[in-house]
Amino acid sequence: MLRIIDAGTGEAVEAAPARRGLTRVEAHAPALDTTALRVLLVADVLVRALELGGTPVWGLLRAGRQQTELRAAAAALGVRPLEDRTAAGPGLGERQVLHVAAEGTPAPDGGVRVAVAAVEPPGGFPVDDTDPAALRLAMLSRRRGEPVRLDADALAEAREAVAGWRRAVAGWARQPSRPIPDEVRGRLRAAWEDDLDVPGVLSVLRWVETEPELPDGARFETYVHADRLLGLDLAGDLGVPS
């Protein structure tokens, strides 16, 4: 069961306390900047984690100005569309509300507050030749309560990691498929169910990449499975000539 730290109380709570009950994930983004984009990324991963656990999820965006630009920038990072909070009606059978917002940002009363630390330096959406998946990885590389610094070194490291994993996945895909070992599946789930510990998931993937006892077919299935949470398009090089 996914447990999340409620910033309002400091206590860990179940993200989906009622089995099969609807959970609303509401992302709060007052304007377009890198911290707001990180908020949307965290909300996106939270929705994915709940879906992987079989929880019905309703994703909403409560945005201020620059909503069109914010949605476009989020889409470029692989954030799946969120409904407009102002146009949405009440959720039928809603059992939990998770408000995802930047630290220090006011959020409505009620529900669980999921706080996201800032991206440094502050500013607008980076516009360069960075693979959007690499930018996504750089912004998810630390636990959501820790600040993220987007500088040239961080982006270069993320680009190298994404490119290397895509090459590896494409190579493993040429081998016979093998099931994900129970230990690996359990370690992945234990990480993301621990307050959405994405760095913990990444650590498991790095171990899977180098563990000599694992067959390549199992590595492939593990990375494809984990990418349902990460959204990094790790199978993007399949079919590309080596």
Q: What is the pLDDT of residue 126?
A: 59
- Domains: count for the chain: 2
User: pTM here?
Assistant: 0.93
Domain that holds residue 48: 3-125
Q: What is the pLDDT of residue 238?
A: 87
How far is Cα 115 from Cα 213, in angstroms, rounded to an integer? 39
- Tell me which residue of 42, 16, 28, 40 sits closest to 94, measured CA to CA: 16
Structure tokens that stand for 136 in this block = 């996504």
Is residue 147 situated within a structural domain?
no
Complete DSSP assignment for the chain: --EEE-TTT--EEESS-STT-EEEEEEEESSSSHHHHHHHHHHHHHHHHHHHTT--EEEEEEE-S-HHHHHHHHHHTTPPP-EETTT--PPTTEEEEEEEEETT----SSSEEEEEPPEES--S---SS--HHHHHHHHHSS-TTS-EE--HHHHHHHHHHHHHHHHHHHHHTTSPP-PPPHHHHHHHHHHHTBTS-HHHHHHHHHHHHH-TTS-HHHHHHHHHHHHHHH---TTTTTT---
Q: The domain spanning residue 203 has which CATH number?
A: 1.20.120
**Which of 82, 108, 125 corresponds to the end of one domain?**
125
Digit-coded pLDDT (tens) for 172-220: 999 999 999 999 999 999 999 999 999 999 999 999 999 999 999 999 9
Q: What is the pLDDT of residue 65?
A: 79
Question: Looking at the structure, do residues 96 and 177 belong to the same domain, yes or no?
Answer: no
Question: Looking at the structure, do residues 187 and 114 belong to the same domain, yes or no?
Answer: no
130 Cβ contact partners less than 8 Å away, ≥ 6 residues apart: 155, 159
